[in-house]
Amino acid sequence: MSELNHNLPNGLITWLEKQGAGTITRLERHVARREAWVVDITTSEGAVTEGFLRLDREPAAHANVSLRREARICEALMSTPVPAPALLGWSETHHAALFARDPGSADLPGVKDKQRQRAIMEDFMKVIAELHRLDLDTLALDDILGSQPQTAAESALGDLDAQLSQYAGFLATYRDPLLSYGTCWLRRFVPDKVTRVSLVQGDTGPVNFMFQGDRVSAVVDWEWGHWGDPMEDLGNICVREFWNPSGGLTGLFKLYEQVSDIPYTRFSAQYYRIQQNVRGMIPIHAACSNASLRESLAWYLCYRYVGDRATCEALADAMSIDIERPALPGGPCAENLLLSAARNTLQRDVLPDVATPYASSRIRDAEILIQCAQREHEFGKDIAAIECAEIATLLKSRPRGMEESKSALVDAIEQQQLHDEPLIAYLARKAYRDEWLYQPATALYPNCEWSALD
């Protein structure tokens, strides 16, 4: 073990070897947004436990979304027909979970055979239907998920309210017009009935499940799991298929309806893809405001600005409002000497000598951040001036500084003083401009578009 390179917390290696009753023979940092490690533990007889370690170094107190929640849900699902990673061990001391590693693939967008891709998605819809039919009392997850919602509004808004509560300190000073409007919109249009309350994954769809052949072998990433309206997961599937195009959605939700006997409506998917984006963007906006973030800020910038644009498009679609892309600043980005020198140093002098894929990915992240900083330096003031002018038009007020303008807009949104159509049109223009400004990051997920809904 001493020859393996790692920076895991003291005592975690001993705990891992105890779980596998052997010695670690493979330990590699997995390149992902959240910290994870590929682990092999070999016994003295030569048997190998192939594990996947997830680690939360800084768990938030009373967090709504947590690795502990993910571990408990996976443990409960082990005795059901729903395929999920088997939990091999949980360390409360280290907030670490060791799961069995699934040998399948998560790269559904990379499947070139469209018939096979469709067969996998259809099998996935049947798995989700099975998930939503599980008996909640048998799962015995109230200790980690809380009591089951009693009304349609609680089912639709419970996880959003939990996020708002968890991030209340951040949101007290971070006043974002889109998050504010999205939250108000979800309350205004909350469903008035729910067919049943289910265990929902909360972030389900392509790339969050493994497959072997044309069958789903494991549904992964359960940190958002909670009690809720099963239609929420259909909205989640829309969102994940937006990010990971996998052949479209035509007919899939009707298949789900047939298999689950839970009725589907188009507005349900429209509502819950907005809900998923709004509640999901709260921690992403918070991460983008954290300079000491351990995870990849470049990826978070991508999720934020592509995600904000997606939210605006989903709002416009749900409200039947036409939006259009605004004119964007022209010309190339001028080179900033210091930023260019920093980027060249990383690319030319550091990257070639880096040995691990994880460290290489972090250097590429830094290069993206440098490019974004160059574009902020070149175009940021011009775009801020456009934003101030457009907000002044919306509010029918004289132009003011960016922060004051944004705060005044949030006040007007929260007091419901503005009409939906011009407000959504403005928010969309802002999102398109932001996506363009941070293009070096948003290019990590190029050409993301919503698939049509039945």
pLDDT per residue over 19-78, tens digit each?
999 999 999 998 777 889 999 999 999 999 999 999 998 887 667 788 999 999 999 999
Cβ atoms within 10 Å, residue 359: 15
Do 191 and 156 contact (CB within 8 A), yes or no?
A: yes
Residue 88: pLDDT above 70?
yes
Average pLDDT, the chain: 93
Q: What is the pLDDT of residues 151-184, one digit of tens each?
A: 999 999 999 999 999 999 999 999 999 999 999 9
Q: 200-209, 341-350, 414-423: which has the minimum mean pLDDT?
A: 341-350
Mean pLDDT of 93-115: 96
CATH superfamily of 12-100: Phosphorylase Kinase; domain 1 (3.30.200.20)
Q: What is the pLDDT of residues 352-379, one digit of tens each?
A: 877 788 888 888 999 999 999 999 999 9
Closest to 176 in 3D by CA, of 188, 243, 167: 167
Residue 337: pLDDT above 60?
yes
> What is the pLDDT at residue 4?
61
Q: Could you give the CA distance from residue 230 to residue 313 in angstroms, rounded to a whole number?
A: 23
pLDDT band at 1 (very low <50, low <70, confident <90, very high): very low
Asked if the domains at 12-100 and 114-289 fall in one CATH topology, the answer is: no
Q: 3-17, 74-88, 170-184: which has the minimum mean pLDDT?
A: 3-17
Mean pLDDT of 313-323: 97
What DSSP designation does 132 have? H
212 to 65, 220, 407: CA distances (angstroms)? 28, 14, 50
Residue 420: pLDDT above 60?
yes
Residue 236: pLDDT above 80?
yes
pLDDT band at 6 (very low <50, low <70, confident <90, very high): confident
Q: What residues form DSSP beta bridges with 219? A: 209
Do 354 and 345 contact (CB within 8 A), yes or no?
A: no
CATH number of the domain located at residue range(s) 114-289 in this protein = 3.90.1200.10
> What is the pLDDT at residue 3?
57
pLDDT band at 2 (very low <50, low <70, confident <90, very high): very low
In the chain, domain spans: 12-100, 114-289, 333-441
